[in-house]
Amino acid sequence: MIVLLDNGHGALINGKYQTAGKRKDWLDKGIIYEGEFNRAIVNGIIEQLTYYKIPYVNIAPEYWDVRLETRVKRANKFPSNNCFYLSIHSNAGGGKGSEVFTSPGDTKSDKIATAFGEEYHKVFPNRILRTDFSDGDLDKERRFYVLTKTKMPAILTENFFMDNFEEFDSILNTKEGRQKIIDFHVSAIIRTKVEIFKESFP
């Protein structure tokens, strides 16, 4: 099993953010750029996957904003039966908690999403997972481009809200909070490898 890691949006190059919007300036309390956060989480996942010798691909290692079409094209070069696509984001628009998205329909993605939701609950027992059980499982289903155009199972995590000050201040903008987000993703990746792809670990 190869994990295809997608760090949503662009990052900062010489202090200049490469993506319009997708940030929240809390003035004297700090600032969050979603693309920087997404890369911090993906880089933390990469550190642990390297340690555990779990194969991965960083789909967008560039700091500029790689187009969704390009990300999907890169992903679709990999054999779809032997990998899954994991897109990392942080939410905005008012709200709290986290979400795990898959494309509509009951696929392998739903089983993977369930593992991510369960590991999230273990690491953040007092935090909300915004769920939708209408289809029988915890993930929310959306026609996001990277979820519908990828050939392999694909999920997208929205990790808390950048524009919720409490979540920004206690999780998204702290080393400990970011590490916990990395940790639940890595636990879920290991579970996916063992329980869904039926591979041995370590």
Query: Which residues of this protein are in contact with Zn ion, per CB under 5 A?
Result: 8, 89
- Judge contact between 99 and 157, C-beta under 8 A: yes
- Between 8 and 97, CB nearer to Zn ion: 8
- Between 8 and 177, CB nearer to Zn ion: 8
- Between 89 and 140, CB nearer to Zn ion: 89
* Least distance between Zn ion and beta carbon 147 (Å): 13
What is the Cα–Cα distance from 175 to 54, expressed in whole angstroms? Answer: 24
* Least distance between Zn ion and beta carbon 9 (Å): 6
- Between 21 and 125, CB nearer to Zn ion: 21
What is the Cα–Cα distance from 146 to 151, expressed in whole angstroms? Answer: 10
* Least distance between Zn ion and beta carbon 52 (Å): 27
SS3 147: helix
The residue number with the shortest CB distance to Zn ion is 89
CB within 8 Å of 12: residues ≥ 6 apart: 18, 33, 35, 36, 63
Six-digit token string for 45? 């996942």
* Least distance between Zn ion and beta carbon 34 (Å): 5
Q: DSSP secondary-structure letter at 48?
A: H
